[in-house]
Amino acid sequence: MSDHKRIIIIGAGYGGVHAAKLLHKKFKNDSNIEIILIDKKPYHTLLTDLHEVAGSRIEPDSVRVYLHKIFANKKVEVIIDEVEKIDYEKQSVIGKDGEYNYDYLILGIGSEPCDFGIPGVFEYGFTVGTLEAAIKTREHIEEMFRKASVESNAEKKRKMLTFVVAGAGFTGIETAGELMEWTKSLCDKYHLDHNDVKIMVIEALNTILPNLNAKLANKAAKFLAKKGVEVLTNAPIVEVAKDYIVLKDGRKIETKTLI
């Protein structure tokens, strides 16, 4: 029986990369241990910076860290392949380009956005959960300004320049902060009045930033209000459509952008 053991890690997110680094540190001098990291992309994405991509503060390349650089001179083999199936009985990972047997398997495949059962979220909403989604959000926001600059209908223009952020956790508040800054530049670029831009943060709970203490959360809320951001708490969203969202209390907010 061979003493050789192969450890396969699926996913080059924070968990997968961290696991690979720890395993390298532990087994770098053990020739019987093989460490393989599989991901469909050749880079790790800095998810905590994606709101800055969506807000055009930084370029997409700024959040890509290529795996060959991360694991240069390390006991980690990086394989670029998209996993389609795992055969747990045969201890095999099946990808589009190959099949890989393992002795130990670590799953670090990340998560998917949740719509909380709200109709229309995936169809009409935007996210900053992936690099592709952040770029799509960024392009949509600028398109709204471009269209608003030539729109003569006041109602249509108002919808285009109303931006709603759903959720007042760290990501939501950071995204609202990016919008506060970027929309000023977009108004200058497209010759629009910044007073026509409306930014809203809508939260189902009774406070923003629920992971912070009340003093800090209130301070953040006051800062947002001072900057012209409208914050609604105790306001669950129950429906999302192409041109509006509906709150649980029946209020309808007309917008073409829900993030």
H helices of the chain, where?
14-27, 50-54, 67-70, 121-124, 131-148, 154-160, 170-190, 214-226
- In the numeric block, the tokens 């890509």 are attached to 64
- Could you give phi then psi for residue 3, rounded to 5 degrees? -85, -5
Nearest to 245 by CA among 118, 87, 131, 141: 118
Please give the full DSSP string across 139-189, using - where no structure is assigned: HHHHHHHHHHTT---HHHHHHHTEEEEE--SHHHHHHHHHHHHHHHHHHHH
157/159 Cα distance (integer angstroms): 5
> Would strands 244-247 and 252-254 be described as parallel, antiparallel, or unpaired?
antiparallel
* Cα separations in angstroms, 247 against 117, 118, 171, 254, 259: 14, 11, 21, 11, 15
Do the Cβ atoms of 166 and 200 come closer than 8 Å? Answer: no
Nearest to 41 by CA among 85, 83, 99: 83
CA 111 to chain centre: 10
Residues in the chain: 259
77 annotated active-site: no
Single out the catalytic residue among 99, 112, 174, 239. Answer: 174
DSSP state of 47: G
What residues act catalytically? 174
